[in-house]
Chains A and B, each alone.
Chain A
Amino acid sequence: MSHVESNDPADQTLLYCEKPEWQDVTPIPQYDGVNPIAPIFYTPEYKDATEYFRAVVEKDEISERVLQLTLDIIQMNPAHYSAWQYRYRTIIALKRPLEAELTLMDVLAIQFLKTYQVWHHRRLVLTALYESSTSDSASSPSSNAAGAAAAAKELAFITRALETDTKNYHTWSYRQWLLAFFDDEALWEGELPYVERLLEADVRNNSAWHHRFFVVFGRVRAKGEVDLEEVLKRELSYTKDQIAFAPNNPSAWNYLRGILERNKKPYSDLQTFVEPYTVPASSSTDEGIVDLDNPRPGPGAQLPCVAALEFLADIHEKAGGEQTKQAIEIWKSLANEHDTMRKKYWEFRVKEASA
């Protein structure tokens, strides 16, 4: 290949206005006849490259040299969505090898983890790769071998990226898209063990909890193929264990609420489990009894736990009648003692239940 893009700064010492191969292009300044308010003071390199980029856009040039230009701009400003957009169009129009594009972008993705565009570009390229390797439009992504192989490689890359930042929003969102889009059994099967490894490292990683929900309940293909009651039992058991391990963890409680709602199960199913978490630590009397269905708070637990109180109040509210009073008592204790920052909210709950 005659024209290889380069990340090497040595190749970028010349400005575009000094490069002989760009002499045919007249750069376009950012503002023409306008004295801009609140301007950004660009470096000479950025100003130079973007002036040539505007000229390229103006004449709609699709060429090899545009690839280097867009890469240069992206490296200076990875949020330059127009440069990404133009790069994608050019890659497709020139039929550039798509695997190579992904590899080239690996470094950028890790370097600019928090940029929308690095992840979206990968998604576009991966989709194009899948579409180019199938002529049968009726087939699903998972039945396409080349697509599946690329997806597996991509999943491994995402895992590496998440090692850098275990809560990166874009990376997680992209991972979920990848799984759903390719919907390949081989991709899905490693996800639950992966989530468990992450939660073992940090039981408070809410991104990992959300991913668990996505993996267990988001996948619709599995509908009817698995026993949902068994899945729910497993999830309840896992979540209760995590709550016992570290009770004051809103991620685990939200997950617990989420799986009950999703499966239309009443919170009251968990009343026996929840109660020991709603009283001060020393007040339990049956220390010797081990109930595997209802793991008790661990030794360091700081009780009562606000999320447990809220959960118990919800059980009482749902039951209604006499139990409404118990719910109100709990909300008042949250408002005035255990969770005073949310006083107004707990008072609102009292008001709603009393109405």
Chain B
Amino acid sequence: MTAVERNWKPTPTDGVSSPTSTLQASTEEILKARYLSVTLNAASSNSPPSTPFEPTLHKNSHIQYLLRNLRQGFPARYISQAASQPWLIFWTLQGFCVLGVGLDGQTKKQAVDTLLAMQHPEGGFCGGPGQAAHLLPTYAAVSALAIVGQPGEGGGWDKINREKMYDFFMSLKQPDGSFLVAHHAEVDVRGMYCLLAVATLLNILTPELVAGTSEFIATCQTYEGGFCNASFPGWAQHHSSTSPIDPSIPRPPLGEAHGGYTFCGTASWAFLQPYIKTSYRGSGNVKPEVNLKALLRWTVQMQGSSIELGGFKGRTNKLVDGCYSWWVGGCAGVVEGLIGEGVGKSEDKAHATDVPTEPDGEWDDVDDALFNRRGLQEYVLYAGQHHAGGLIDKPPKPSDSYHTLYCLAGLSAAQHRVQPSSSRRETLSAAWTAHAEAEFDGLRKEAFISALSWVEEEGASLYVGGEKNRLNATHPLFNLTVTHSEGIMAHFYRQTIPSRFTKKST
């Protein structure tokens, strides 16, 4: 599409100006100007005028940016992230993985040692050495270890104290099924997501751990369809502090529907499905419900219009931001997976044999994603890249570690389709090895299979700008590659995972 053809219709204001519409209009001008300058620069450079312009992901410059952070470290303005050190490491390492860059053994070893220095003696990981344990850095550290670690001496995985981590998790649990993110800290859906992802990766999920958590997550869905950060427990608790919470007493959401919380709420809901499936049957307890249709509607409504270059917003009437490429764009795929599972997907597109991979544009007919994949890719490619490397919220913001990963992960989520596959589920189920001494084998097996049945649909990729912009696929629930998710889970569940790749006849 050329600049002339693009629809530059501004968001309608109905002749009523307000602070929101003023900010929106100036942002639209910035995005339009950025788009035009990228296309014009390209037109004046060496590409033949007859070829339609295709945006480029400046992979090398982003790799250099990540390398600088990894090797040289972060300047003093990153002191604000000194309590998020595992995050800085995770964002950087996962950025490399999405970009398809492998790491050498020495770097991996150094990363493992750094991460283990942040494990708390009483369980969980801290924002930095000597700090308190916290659910958020625990997710970041375990995920980073999934990337750089391995079993055995010096590999890091066997140094994760899972027993103490479980105790730490239980010490944060609240009567309403939620968890504090740290002692004396807040209850927040982000913490629930981090806990569930880690419990699933490390095989420490138990019915005791997550009793009531599904109900809590369900109460965080707002009237708009997305999730907020927490619900209010008090009215339910005032009634009686000893008996279990009465699910019929309202627990209103605190805060409006928001992209980050919606990703965390939705992915948590997916992580809780194995528990819901195995624990409610015949228990007499009422299954909690999330309105998936409303959630889907909210998620797709967050995608900005053509003049906003198809990027995602984090809240109704707020601005697009590159990080929501993952939190909302990535979430759309999770919602689709949940809806698909709910209605019992009859056809299974994964492992379709011998579908040729075509670059860009040829696959509109088979693209059954419910958000605009092309639109999201355009936002990241046009508005999300910083000329000096790294990715950003929107021009003219500077790049940072956080936006670099979440723009790249969002771009990847728009390129690939990673969805639950019933044939993969069957394969994993057939290969499951029961360990006699393991408690709750049914739940553990279901958690393992449910997480790893998310695989890439072959022939469903779409690359704006051509295959040169291809990124690796990332698991929609963990934000790790499927290979890294499988590696660490195979270790902690003591399973041998059948290959995802069917042998091609030559």
Contact = CB atoms under 8 A, between A and B. Distances in A.
B439 interface: no
B376 to A, nearest CB: 10
Contacts of A180: 232, 234-235, 252, 254
Interface residues of A, number: 92
Nearest to A221: B235
A244 B357 CA distance: 49
B73 A40 contact: yes
Contacts of A117: 185
B360 interface: no
B132 interface: yes
A116 B184 CA distance: 13
B19 A166 contact: yes
A44 to B, nearest CB: 10
Interface stretch (B43-51, B192-200, B309-317, B468-476): B309-317
Interface residues of B, number: 87
A300 B16 CA distance: 8
A246 B370 contact: no
Give the residue among B7, B19, B232, B258 with the most A Cβ atoms within 10 A: B232
A28 B128 CA distance: 13
A34 B114 contact: yes
Interface stretch (A264-272, A283-291, A342-350): A342-350
Interface in B1-45: 7, 11-16, 18-21
A341 interface: yes
Contacts of B80: 77-79
A37 B223 contact: no
Interface stretch (B81-89, B263-271, B281-289): B81-89
Interface of B is mostly: loop
A329 interface: no
Contact of A36 (B114, B235, B304): B114
A354 to B, nearest CB: 14
Interface stretch (A62-70, A102-110, A252-260): A252-260
B224 A50 contact: no
Interface in B127-146: 127-132, 134
Contacts of A247: 14
A254 B317 CA distance: 11
A300 B85 CA distance: 51
B422 interface: no
A319 interface: no
Given A81-B185, A341-B305, A345-B300, A210 B255 contact: yes
A257 B257 CA distance: 14
Interface in B250-303: 250, 252-258, 296-297, 300-301, 303
A298 B367 CA distance: 40
B54 interface: no
Nearest to B233: A180
Contacts of A120: 185-186
A301 interface: yes
B3 to A, nearest CB: 17
Nearest to A348: B370
A14 interface: no
A340 B83 contact: no
Interface in A66-121: 76-82, 84-86, 88-89, 116-117, 120
Interface of B: 7, 11-16, 18-21, 69-70, 73-76, 78-85, 88-89, 92, 107, 110-111, 113-114, 117, 126-132, 134, 182-186, 188, 222-224, 228-230, 232, 234-235, 238, 249-250, 252-258, 296-297, 300-301, 303-306, 310, 315-318, 367-372, 375
Given A173-B229, A219-B252, 12 more contacts: A37-B110, A37-B111, A40-B73, A54-B129, A82-B127, A169-B256, A180-B232, A210-B255, A218-B232, A248-B12, A302-B13, A342-B300
Interface of A: 28, 30-32, 34-43, 46, 50, 53-54, 57-58, 76-82, 84-86, 88-89, 116-117, 120, 123-124, 140, 166-167, 169, 172-173, 176-177, 180-181, 183, 201-207, 209-210, 213-214, 217-221, 245-251, 254-255, 257-259, 261-262, 297-302, 305, 340-345, 348
7 contacts: A38-B114, A82-B83, A213-B222, A214-B254, A298-B14, A299-B15, A348-B370
